[in-house]
């Protein structure tokens, strides 16, 4: 199956090529004048400019070659040499039928699927998930779903931050509070199965310890030493650390679950640890590891760099592995375990230097093919002051609190709109959760990932405008229309396209594959979000102009039911690729 726009583009490219001109000139775009045409091609203007010829003449030659293309009802040359193309109703109906019958709703798969690891969210032990992790989680989840849908073999990995200096800090901080803990004894154990701390303890201790380490050199040294001992395998520290990990992970999983974020792998930085000795040895053999003031580094600066890129710190002077070391070792691990051909890191853009350092070191050492590691950076969600969002008290907002706030707001909005009134409490709450998730995710994903945006829950949860709840509302409306049709024993029939609103709807359905392909190539889900919104708008116009259940005759009614069914299916698919679920009813 192939989309109409793409197929026309190829026909145009062939025509340009047959005229001895560059195929690329045949690019077609959606017409800016839908009253005159469906698509247009501006290639004749560029061709004429290059050849110092008359653009209308070139356009006429191209148009002549398209004569006889049964899909086109008119081919017109407009203005200085635009080629305007209009499809026949039959060609549109044909395409709509194909989309409706296609389980993939018109979306293609990639020609050569790859093995891809998507590293996203990156939550940390003991640090409650805060809004800083929100975007990476939302965007990564969508990219993971998109890549998988396009046919790649994909592993989503949380890359849990469970290994660095923070762990040493926590061990020391817990030890100060509970000096008699068995975990602190140097022996081999066994150590208690029960965790001596709760997540609340960890969340309370961590910020204090982190702040203290900045000022108190003695404390910092103890934490560094504990980090090194943990990494070297001291049994009590390992046992205590495992409790930190379990306690944190349980809470994090709940939050991710509430956001429809789901990982195939919950590997942590610690899982790369077994690979570190060989990586260090290998870097040494390759002459890449350099001793610098007691630490071991890899120089990654390149000639022509616009700004100076500091070296990658591999081992601290205590011999601890650093954040970049675990990332480097994780690349080796992913290549070995999954034969990963591409690794995408959906992480805040403020970490771009870090990734540049790690990638360059990996390329230098031959751990990955040049270009197979990609940082997919995101901007921030900001407060009204334009700075990364903080609570009113100036603290970071915990994800859990954000989700709760969004759910409450969504419930309020549903009540305001008189929606969901007939639902049982559980069903209502679940609908509110879906509305909240749609609100947060769509507000995020409608922006290009590198564009920062301002947090505005009122706007995000509105049922009007370019919002997630609006899209859910439209989808549910189609669902209830179809349920009503079913109740009247009115069934889908052969699709026929006549009305302008029907043409527009089919053209929008046709644009789905291009949107997915653009989102895929650019690792940018906003193209899917844009498509979903356009589809809702096209449907809304169609629904206003073309009665479905009250259609003039049975054939038209059947056709419109089929169009509505295809629209709903494509909408649900698009939303699911954004990680948004549509409630059954509202």
Q: How many angstroms from the chain centroid is the CA of residue 50? A: 40
E-strand spans in 182-260? Answer: none
The answer to whether 119 contacts ligand ARG (rule: CB under 6 A) is: yes
Q: Which residue is nearest to ligand ARG (CB)?
A: 122
Provide the strand spans (E) within 307-361. 312-315, 342-348
Which residues 13-72 are close enough to bind ligand ARG by CB under 6 A?
none
Question: Per CB under 6 A, which region of 101-109, 119-127, 445-453, 494-502 contacts ligand ARG?
Answer: 119-127
> Is the distance from CB of 370 to CB of 400 less than 8 angstroms?
no
Joined tokens for residue 31? 């017409």
CB of 214 to ligand ARG, least distance (A): 17
Q: What is the DSSP string of 127-184?
A: BPPBGGGHHHHHHHHHHHHHHHHTT-EEEEE--BB-SSHHHHHHHHHHHHH-TT-GGG
- Distance of closest approach, residue 128 Cβ to ligand ARG, in angstroms: 12
Contact residues for 420 (Cβ-Cβ < 8 A; gap 6+): 414, 427, 428, 431, 432, 585, 586
From residue 315 to residue 354, the character string flagging contacts with ligand ARG as x (rule: CB under 6 A) and all else as - is ------------x-----------------x-x-------
| Closer residue to ligand ARG (CB): 347 or 515 | 347
Nearer to ligand ARG, 26 or 164 (CB): 164
User: Does 261 engage in binding with ligand ARG (CB under 6 A)?
Assistant: no
**C-alpha to C-alpha distance for 431 and 421, rounded to whole angstroms:** 11
Which CB sits closer to ligand ARG, 161 or 168? 161
Shortest gap between Cβ of 343 and ligand ARG (angstroms)? 9
Rounded to a whole number of angstroms, the minimum distance from the CB of residue 231 to ligand ARG is 17
User: Minimum distance from CB of 288 to ligand ARG (Å)?
Assistant: 20
CA distance 512 to 262: 25
Mention every residue, 6+ apart, whose C-beta is less than 8 A from residue 356: 300, 309, 375
- Whichever of 28 and 343 has its CB closer to ligand ARG, that residue is 343
Of 473-502, binders to ligand ARG (CB under 6 A) are: none
> Which range touches ligand ARG (CB under 6 A), out of 71-79, 118-126, 243-251, 283-291?
118-126
User: Are 493 and 554 spatial neighbours (Cβ–Cβ below 8 Å)?
Assistant: yes
The site for ligand ARG, by CB under 6 A, has a size of: 8
Binding of residue 388 to ligand ARG (CB under 6 A)? no
Q: Minimal distance in Å, beta carbon 373 to ligand ARG?
A: 10
8 A C-beta contact, residue 560 and residue 241: no
DSSP 396: P
Residues between 157 and 196 that touch ligand ARG (CB under 6 A): 159, 161
Residue 122 contacts ligand ARG per CB under 6 A? yes
d(CA 43, CA 21): 10
Residues at the interface with ligand ARG (CB under 6 A): 119, 122, 124, 159, 161, 327, 345, 347
């Amino acid at each position: 199956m192939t989309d109409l726009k793409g197929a026309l583009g190829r026909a145009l490219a062939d025509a340009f090529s047959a005229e001895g001109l560059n195929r690329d000139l045949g690019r077609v775009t959606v017409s800016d004048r839908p009253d005159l045409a469906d698509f247009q091609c501006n290639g004749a203007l560029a061709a004429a400019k290059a050849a110092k010829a008359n653009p209308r003449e070139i356009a006429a030659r191209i148009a002549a070659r398209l004569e006889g293309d049964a899909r086109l009802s008119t081919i017109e040359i407009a203005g200085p040499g635009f080629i305007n193309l209009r499809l026949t109703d039959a060609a549109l109906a044909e395409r709509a039928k194909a989309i409706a019958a296609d389980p993939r709703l018109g979306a293609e798969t990639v020609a050569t699927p790859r093995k891809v690891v998507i590293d996203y969210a990156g939550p940390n032990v003991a640090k409650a998930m805060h809004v800083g992790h929100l975007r990476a989680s939302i965007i990564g989840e969508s990219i993971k779903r998109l890549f998988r849908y396009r046919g790649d073999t994909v592993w989503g990995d949380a890359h849990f931050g469970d290994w660095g200096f923070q762990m040493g800090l926590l061990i020391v901080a817990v030890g100060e509070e509970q000096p008699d803990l068995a975990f602190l004894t140097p022996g081999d154990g066994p150590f208690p199965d029960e965790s001596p701390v709760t997540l609340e303890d960890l969340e309370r201790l961590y910020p204090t310890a982190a702040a203290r380490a900045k000022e108190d050199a003695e404390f910092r040294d103890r934490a560094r030493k504990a980090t090194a001992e943990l990494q070297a395998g001291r049994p009590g520290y390992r046992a205590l650390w495992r409790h930190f990990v379990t306690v944190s992970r349980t809470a994090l999983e709940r939050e991710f679950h509430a956001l429809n974020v789901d990982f195939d792998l919950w590997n942590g930085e610690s899982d790369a640890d077994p690979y570190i000795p060989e990586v260090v040895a290998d870097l040494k053999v390759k002459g890449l590891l350099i001793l610098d003031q007691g630490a071991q580094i890899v120089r990654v600066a390149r000639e022509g760099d616009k700004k100076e890129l500091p070296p990658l710190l591999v081992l601290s002077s205590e011999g601890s592995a650093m954040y970049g070391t675990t990332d480097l070792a994780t690349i080796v691990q992913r290549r070995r375990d999954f034969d990963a051909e591409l690794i995408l890191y959906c992480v805040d853009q403020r970490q771009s230097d870090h990734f540049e350092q790690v990638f360059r070191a990996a390329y230098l050492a031959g751990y990955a093919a040049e270009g197979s590691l990609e940082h997919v950076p995101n901007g921030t969600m900001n407060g009204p002051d334009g700075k990364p969002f903080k609570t009113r008290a100036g603290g970071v907002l915990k994800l859990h609190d954000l989700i709760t706030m969004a759910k409450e707001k969504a419930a309020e909005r549903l009540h305001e709109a008189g929606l969901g009134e007939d639902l049982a409490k559980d069903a209502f709450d679940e609908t509110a959760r879906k509305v909240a998730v749609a609100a947060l995710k769509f507000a995020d994903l409608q922006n290009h990932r590198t564009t920062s945006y301002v947090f505005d829950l009122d706007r995000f949860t509105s049922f009007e405008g370019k919002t997630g709840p609006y899209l859910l509302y439209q989808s549910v409306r189609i669902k209830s229309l179809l349920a009503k049709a079913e109740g009247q024993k009115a069934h889908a029939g052969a699709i026929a396209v006549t009305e302008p609103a029907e043409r527009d709807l089919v053209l929008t359905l046709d644009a789905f594959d291009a949107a997915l392909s653009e989102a895929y190539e650019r690792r940018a889900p906003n193209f899917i979000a844009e498509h979903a919104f356009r589809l809702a708008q096209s449907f809304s116009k169609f629904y206003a102009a073309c009665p479905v259940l009250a259609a003039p005759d049975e054939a038209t009614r059947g056709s419109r039911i089929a169009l509505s069914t295809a629209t709903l299916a494509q909408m649900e698919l698009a939303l699911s690729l954004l990680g948004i679920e549509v409630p059954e009813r509202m």
